[in-house]
Amino acid sequence: MAKVFITGSADGIGHLAAKMLADAGHTVVVHGRNEQRAADALAAVPGAFASVYGDLSSIGETIQLAGKVNELGTFDAVIHNAGIGDKERHRVETADGLPHVFAVNALAPYILTCLIHKPKRLIYTSSGMHRGADISLDDLAWKERNWNGTQAYCDSKFYDVLLAFAVARHWPDVLSNAVDPGWVPTKMGGPSAPDKLEEGPQTQVWLATSDEAGAHVSGKYFHHMRERGHLAETEDIELQDRFLRECEKISGIRFPG
């Protein structure tokens, strides 16, 4: 049985993944952005081991969250699931002066990756929309560009793949992969999403726990439990390492390795 931590598991795909894992007998730690959301997440998943809380839009709270996770020991897998969608029509600025979408979707997974005890497996939730990203890595904070919520989302999901592939390269002892969960009818996806809801968490759960050869790979991009094509630039080593450096500049936290 595996010990798994899932960010953003109070609802949506994260909640479904937590439930699937707990139902299968795995040790699951759920997460919510505040104490009440974390408590609700724990109550909603019978069999879950514990909950932790922290607002991923805050660098300080994300650092504190990593400490709370580490107090629970070392995990077999961490699923970076929490995310903000593409509906923010105005630039929502965090207390750190960053766009909400970037802070939660991209910077928080970087910080948690750096600070949580290294697990055996890491899963980063991306999206097929990463193919529409601005790959320049210029102006991550959107201080110069005219705000576009859809573009900011696409960019953040591109960064998630860059991060997953960078980790796979720098940490050969960890299985690190990116996942497109599909367009499923969650609160973020909306009722018109064409994919089946139960398909959303399956790949993350499989990559986190399976002994199948197909799940014992690293530096891959998956959709519905199959390796899929991704934007070619995500394989660019210089882009990967530049993203790590940019995140270090913003957060003050250096990638270990």
Residue 126 domain flag: yes
Measured in degrees and rounded to the nearest 5, phi and psi for residue 108 equal -60, -45
53, 110, 124, 157: the catalytic one is 157
Q: Which CATH number belongs to the domain containing residue 127 in this structure?
A: 3.40.50.720
pLDDT recorded at residue 86: 85
Instruction: Tell me the mean pLDDT in the region 141-153.
Output: 97
pLDDT recorded at residue 195: 57
110, 124, 153, 221: the catalytic one is 153
Return the DSSP state at 99. Answer: B
Calculate what percentage of the chain has a pLDDT beyond 70: 94
The pLDDT tens digits for 230-250 are 999 999 999 999 999 999 999
- pTM here is 0.95
User: Looking at the 3D structure of the chain, how many domains does it have?
Assistant: 1
Residue 256 domain flag: no
The residues, ordered by sequence, that sit 6+ positions from 232 with a Cβ below 8 Å of its Cβ are: none
Confidence of residue 190 (pLDDT cuts 50, 70, 90): low
The pLDDT tens digits for 80-135 are 999 999 888 999 999 999 999 999 999 999 999 999 999 999 999 999 999 999 99
Measured in degrees and rounded to the nearest 5, phi and psi for residue 80 equal -85, 95
Domain that holds residue 236: 3-251
Residue 184 domain flag: yes
Is residue 124 among the annotated active site residues? no
Query: In whole angstroms, what is the distance from residue 206 CA to residue 4 CA?
Result: 12
Instruction: Tell me the mean pLDDT in the region 64-81.
Output: 98
Please provide the average confidence, as pLDDT, over all residues in the chain.
Answer: 94
Residue 163 domain flag: yes
Instruction: Tell me the mean pLDDT in the region 8-34.
Output: 97
Residue 95 domain flag: yes
pLDDT recorded at residue 182: 75
pLDDT recorded at residue 179: 98
Residue 257 domain flag: no
Q: Is the pLDDT of residue 189 over 60?
A: no
The 3 state secondary structure assigned to 64-108 is: HHHHHHHHCCCCCEEEECCCCCCCCCCCCECCCCCEHHHHHHHHH
